[in-house]
């Protein structure tokens, strides 16, 4: 007779918890699993999965030459901030724009300057 066991693991990070939810039922349903061996496998799996993961900030810091009053927009990639766009106008009428995007530690940093004429077209 097969006995179904339920394991609840509170207070674990979501990634670890979701991976264990997939792994544990498979281990528990293995018919010839020795309880002592199961405990050892579980502890080793938990140790590997619960290791702190270093995550780089998805959006890098703005350069120091971007004014504090610039309009800032955040670029989202799969609901995660991954880029920024800052726009500001100087007293001479030139519109400055800075865009940066970070994809796994890489990405462009682009400065753009443009001016509008009387009709509102870029010159």
Phi, psi of 37 (to 5 degrees): -65, -40
Six-digit token pair at 33? 């699993």
Six-digit token pair at 65? 């030459």
Q: Which residues of the chain have pLDDT under 70?
A: 1-34, 49, 51-58
49 lies in the same domain as 61: no
pLDDT on residue 80 = 83
Select from 54, 70, 85 the last residue of a domain.
54
81 lies in the same domain as 99: yes
User: Which residues make Cβ contacts (< 8 Å) with residue 49, sequence separation at least 6?
Assistant: 15, 16, 19, 20
pLDDT on residue 123 = 82
120 lies in the same domain as 76: yes
Select from 54, 72, 91 the last residue of a domain.
54
State the residue range of the domain holding 85: 57-123
104 lies in the same domain as 64: yes
> Is there a contact between 98 and 86 (Cβ–Cβ < 8 Å)?
yes
How many domains would you assign to the chain?
Answer: 2
pLDDT on residue 45 = 76
Six-digit token pair at 43? 């502890």
């Amino acid at each position: 007779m097969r006995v179904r066991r339920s394991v609840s693991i509170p207070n674990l990070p979501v990634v670890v918890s979701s991976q264990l939810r997939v792994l544990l039922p498979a281990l528990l349903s293995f018919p010839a699993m020795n309880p002592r061996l199961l405990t050892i496998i579980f502890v080793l799996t938990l140790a590997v999965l619960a290791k702190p993961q270093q995550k780089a900030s998805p959006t890098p810091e703005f350069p120091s030459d971007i004014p504090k009053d610039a309009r800032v927009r955040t670029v989202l990639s799969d609901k995660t901030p991954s880029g920024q766009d800052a726009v500001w106008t100087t007293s001479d009428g030139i519109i400055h724009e800075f865009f940066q995007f970070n994809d796994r530690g890489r990405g462009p940093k682009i400065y753009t300057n443009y001016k509008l004429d009387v009709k509102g077209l870029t010159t």
